[in-house]
Each structure stands twice: as C-alpha cells, then as structure tokens.
Amino acid sequence: MEKKLPTIKEIARRLNISASTVSRALHDHPSIGLRTKMAVKKLAAELNYEPNQTAIFFKQRKTFTIGLVLPNLREEFFSAAINGIEDVALDHNYIVLIGQSHDDLAREQKLVETMKNHRVDGILASISSSTTHIEHFEQMKNYDIPVVFFDRVPDAKDIHSVSCNLYDSSVEAVEWLIRNGHKRIGYLQGPPTLNMKHERLDGYMEAHKKHKLPVDESLIVSTNLSVEGTRSAVDALLQLKKRPTAILSFNDYVTLDAIQYARQKKLAINKDICFVSYANVPVTQYVEFPPLASVEQFPYDQGVSATELLFRLIDKKVAGQESPYENIVLKSELIIR
C-alpha cells in the first residue's frame, strides 16, 4: 500500500530534464523557457504532484508553523484569542500548533520543548498561573525562535508582549462603583504569578486615592482560581464586621463562582453586594446575575496583534536583523450592563 507520491525527480526523469529545471519551472523562474515550463506544469498536474513540505522545511529552515502555548481552552477568552491568531496565521499560510499548560509549569516547559523540537518558526504564549520563571521561554533565543507573550504576560524586561491596559479600566471600574455609592469595595485578586504587574491593584488604589477613600487591606483577598479558593476568599470578605458592598474580582469565571457562593450565603446580589469583573465573556449573558460590569479585554484583537508582532519578528529574523523588545498595550473597556 506504499503509495509513491510523485516527486520533482520523477517529473524530471519522465521529461528527460534535470530536477533543477523542474523546480525552477514550477516556481516560474525566468530562466526557464516557456515550452519546458508548460510541459513541466502539465505533467505535474497530471501526476498530481505536490511538493514535499518536509523536505522544504528541512532545506529552508522554516516550518510555516507557530506554536501556541496557553493555560486552557475552556475559558472563552482564550478560544476567542485563538480566532484572531488563526486568522492571521492562515493569511500568512501558517498553521498553529497548540498546547495547553493547564496552569502547570512542568507541562508548559514540556510543550515549549516539544515545539522547539518541531522547529516552530515562533511561539505565542500566555503563561500558566504556576509559572514562576520563564527560562524555558528565554532559551528559545538560542534557537532563534521568537516568543511573544499575550494577555498573561510575565513581569520581565527582555520580552515581546501584547496585553491590555488594565490599569485605566481598573480605575474606571472602581470609580464607577464609588460613583454608585459604594464606599467599601473588596478586591478579589488572582494568584501572585498573574498579578506581577498589579495593574488591577494599582488602579484600585488610584481610584481610592482620587476619591479620598481609605484603603482597607483586609478588603484585599486572593484566589488561586479554583472554586474552593474563590469561596474561601469571598468568605473572608463576608466575615468582616464591615463587609464590602461591592467586589472587584479577577475575572468573570471567578466572579461566577463568587456570586454563586454569595447567593448560597443568602446575600441579595446587586443589593447586598455587587460584582464588577474582567474579561466580559459572552456566556455571562445567560446567567441570572452576571457581574454588573466587566472589563472587555478584546481577546480577538490581542490575538491578532500578538500574531502580527510575531510575524514581524520572524521576518526580521529571516532578514538577519535584530529586533528591539516590543510591548504593545491595547486599551480595554469597561462594559456596563
């Protein structure tokens, strides 16, 4: 059953010409006569010839493949980002290798390693929540594989990245709450590794400062994103003698868990307590009590932007040029329901 796929050599043999001529003919190289060009193309079509990409990859040192490493696909944010990534990649005739870290550093490392072995031309990454260092990404420099981080960007200097400005929208979100009469606003943050740039927290602080509201440290709690983590964090807030009337929380998924827990505790959502969040994932439209507002982070645009940056880096690499580190910041937008 070993079907022998037609090769350039085969065409050359049949036409009694050399392989190089065939190659050039197929590429419309100017130094090939029209007659041979026609003959080659005709036979190629008849034989259903298709170039062996693995041979080309090998020779050209390019695979027309980009690697995508992200925490998971379950979150609508990431699946939306992929749409942008895939669209740009397909435009460039590239295809996407995917890998989910499931927020596990070891798995993330293995994925990067595997992608390196596959000689991807570049890597897009959103780091896992347990990623405490990024050596595995930095090593890619030794292989001339550019890396662009998006959304979950590590707090390091010498990297390329695309992310949303969450500072401004965090200020805006908290101000919105303040304007709506809230004076005690809780902040439910994510795990430390994802807060390294603490844009959200800085925005939270700034809004308090602007409105001369004191910041109560006990109003700031953390979750590791798990249901239990979120519950105990929310619990800590609800146990306070002076409980917050509103909570700004890490993202919509966390918020859904938080709301569920608050309801379980017999709190009236949007009366006893309000929620404002990040991500603005579409699925919240179906739930009874969605967050009152959520910061749209434009995953599709982030994906597009990151992929375009990656291709610029790949092109420069091919041209042998050095690229300065680029850190693109897109703006986010507070969506009020």
Q: Please give the structure tokens belonging to residue 306.
A: 């990151």
23 vs 64 by CB, closer to its own copies = 64
DSSP 5-53: ---HHHHHHHHTS-HHHHHHHHTT-TTS-HHHHHHHHHHHHHHT----H
Q: What is residue 263's three-state secondary structure?
A: helix
Residue 19 touching DNA (CB under 7 A): yes
DSSP 83-147: HHHHHHHHHTT-EEEEEE-TT-HHHHHHHHHHHHHTT-SEEEE---TT----HHHHGGGGGT--E
- Work out how close the CB of 103 gets to DNA at its nearest, in angstroms, rounded to a whole number: 33
Task: Select the span of 96-104, 199-207, 269-277, 292-300 touching its own copies (CB under 8 A).
Answer: 96-104
Q: Give the x/- contact pattern for DNA in 138-177, rule: CB under 7 A.
A: ----------------------------------------
CA 175 – CA 211 distance, rounded (Å)? 8
Query: Of residues 20, 53, 218, 264, which one binds its own copies by CB under 8 A?
Result: 53
Site residues (CB under 8 A) for its own copies, limited to 185-224: none
Question: Residue 18 binds which entry of DNA, its own copies, none, with Cβ cut-offs from 5 to 8 Å by kind?
Answer: DNA
Question: Residue 156 binds which entry of its own copies, DNA, none, with Cβ cut-offs from 5 to 8 Å by kind?
Answer: none
Give Cα 130 distance to the centre of its chain: 16
CA 115 – CA 64 distance, rounded (Å)? 13
CA 172 – CA 337 distance, rounded (Å)? 15
**Chain contacts with its own copies (rule: CB under 8 A):** 1-3, 5, 48, 50-55, 57-58, 61, 63-65, 72-74, 76, 79-80, 82-83, 86, 90, 93, 95-100, 110, 114-119, 142-144, 256, 260, 283, 286-288, 317, 320, 322
**Chain contacts with DNA (rule: CB under 7 A):** 5, 7-9, 16-24, 26-27, 30-37, 49, 51-52, 55-56, 58-60
